[in-house]
Amino acid sequence: MCYNYSVMKALVWKDIGEIELVDRPMPELCSDKDAIIKVVMSSICTSDLHIIKGFVPKASKGIVLGHEFVGEVHSVGSGVKKFVPGDRVSANCETFCGECWFCKRGFVNNCENGGWEIGCSTDGCQAEYVRVSYADSVLTKLPESVSFENALFVGDILSSGYWGAELCEIKHDDVVAIIGAGPVGLCSMLSAKMFGPSRIVAIDTDDSRLSVAKENGLADIFLNPDKCDIGDEVRKLTDGRGADSVIEAAGSSSSFQMAWEIARANAIVAVVAMYEKNQVLPLPNMYGKNLTFKTGGVDAAKCEKLVELISQNKINTDFLITHKFSLENIKEAYKLFENKDDNCLKIAITN
């Protein structure tokens, strides 16, 4: 691609259901802690679809979409200490200062000076260049052994899957049920595996996605709610108790209900999915189950660790990239991703 250094291509969310690839001015450094990244590869996240449908209240119309990407540092502000132009990096989907009350405790999603901004309330990465605030906190350097493709999901879905698994406080003899074998659920499975549970139960209504989990050795038991009673099956595996922890990564009303129903008393239910409408917690029906619910946006504070695990071949997410498109054809890529055509899991958008 030939670059015009003052204008670039970018995918913009125009209005409900409307996106457009347009010419945009190149981003510029706005603070001494900013970096401008030349995007090498980006991806489309299910959360982008939630924005386009108007279900993300803090998303601003007119923004450049995208929050999952890898690239090369193009320029840095004078306050950026860890990065220089030319560095290969992955970027966190969350902007965080690293210094406020929440950041110091690892709750970077709640950073008093950031949160989910890139591709939501500030311009995102489905473009040729993107500005990243608090570059020293948000970027992770990639060692030579880790390719851009290897690291594409570090800052969002892999972080989310790992976070979901961490929330579950998995112990060695636990049975962990993961609802949804989409990209996030699959990342939850490969992360949960590292904590050494006795069994991982993958649950999805889509057999092709269960097959991906099976082919990649990410789970031990594969259940389709359209073909069996999930509660019965999970109780059979656990002497009638229910799952020791449940990760809900599907995002529908029925999967939300399934999550607490298949959990044993005193289990942890980690809700990683983002819903398009309110869900109901029927407390009288749950009375006595004494569940712990953990919910919300990922605290993506473990990117360095995840890159290290990738470089040690302990994690590999390459199998998630089922399709590749150039930025010019990104609208076509959105259609394929949204419809899950051709068994699409994740798309790498290359610049």
Ligand X SMILES: NC(=O)c1ccc[n+]([C@@H]2O[C@H](COP(=O)([O-])OP(=O)(O)OC[C@H]3O[C@@H](n4cnc5c(N)ncnc54)[C@H](O)[C@@H]3O)[C@@H](O)[C@H]2O)c1
Contact positions toward ligand X, by CB under 6 A? 45-47, 50, 156-157, 160, 179-185, 203-206, 209, 225, 249-252, 254-255, 272-274, 297-298
Q: What is the smallest separation between the CB atom of 229 and Zn ion, expressed in angstroms?
A: 32
Nearest to ligand X of 181, 309 (CB atom)? 181
Give the whole-angstrom CA distance, residue 9 versus residue 154: 24
Give the whole-angstrom CA distance, residue 160 versus residue 270: 11
Q: Give which of Zn ion, ligand X, none residue 220 binds (C-beta under 5 to 8 Å, depending on kind).
A: none
Q: Calculate the alpha carbon distances from 195 to 165, 175, 226, 267, 343 in Å.
A: 8, 11, 29, 16, 29
Q: What is the smallest separation between the CB atom of 129 and Zn ion, expressed in angstroms?
A: 20
Nearest to ligand X of 71, 119 (CB atom)? 119
Buried b (16+ CB within 10 A) or exposed e, 109-143: bbbebbbbbbbbbbbbbbbbbbbbbbbbbbbbebe
Nearest to ligand X of 76, 103 (CB atom)? 103
Q: Give which of ligand X, Zn ion, none residue 181 binds (C-beta under 5 to 8 Å, depending on kind).
A: ligand X
Q: Give which of ligand X, Zn ion, none residue 33 binds (C-beta under 5 to 8 Å, depending on kind).
A: none
Closest CA to 30 of 76, 70, 90, 87: 76
Q: Note whether 94 binds Zn ion by CB under 5 A.
A: no
Q: Give which of ligand X, Zn ion, none residue 21 binds (C-beta under 5 to 8 Å, depending on kind).
A: none
Q: Give which of Zn ion, ligand X, none residue 209 binds (C-beta under 5 to 8 Å, depending on kind).
A: ligand X
Nearest to ligand X of 157, 170 (CB atom)? 157
CB 136 within 8 A of CB 32: no
Q: What is the smallest separation between the CB atom of 112 and Zn ion, expressed in angstroms?
A: 5
CA angle 181, 313, 273 (to 5 degrees): 25
Give the whole-angstrom CA distance, residue 146 versus residue 312: 9
Scanning residues 167 to 206, which ones bind Zn ion (CB under 5 A)?
none
Q: Give which of ligand X, Zn ion, none residue 110 binds (C-beta under 5 to 8 Å, depending on kind).
A: none
Q: Which of 11, 103, 187, 258 binds Zn ion (CB under 5 A)?
A: 103
Q: What is the smallest separation between the CB atom of 133 and ligand X, expressed in angstroms?
A: 19
Nearest to ligand X of 27, 251 (CB atom)? 251
For tokens 């636990």, the residue is: 174
Q: Give which of Zn ion, ligand X, none residue 266 binds (C-beta under 5 to 8 Å, depending on kind).
A: none
Nearest to Zn ion of 22, 100 (CB atom)? 100
Q: Note whether 111 binds Zn ion by CB under 5 A.
A: yes
Q: What is the smallest separation between the CB atom of 197 and Zn ion, expressed in angstroms?
A: 25
Q: What is the smallest separation between the CB atom of 189 and ligand X, expressed in angstroms?
A: 11
Closest CA to 191 of 339, 305, 326, 85: 305
Residues whose CB is less than 8 angstroms from the CB of residue 26 and which lie 6 or more positions away in sequence, other chains included: 5, 6, 7, 8, 36, 128, 129
For tokens 């999930």, the residue is: 230
Q: What is the smallest separation between the CB atom of 280 and ligand X, expressed in angstroms?
A: 15
Give the whole-angstrom CA distance, residue 93 versus residue 126: 13
Q: Give which of Zn ion, ligand X, none residue 103 binds (C-beta under 5 to 8 Å, depending on kind).
A: Zn ion
Q: Note whether 100 binds Zn ion by CB under 5 A.
A: yes
Interacting residues toward Zn ion by CB under 5 A: 45, 47, 96-97, 100, 103, 111, 156
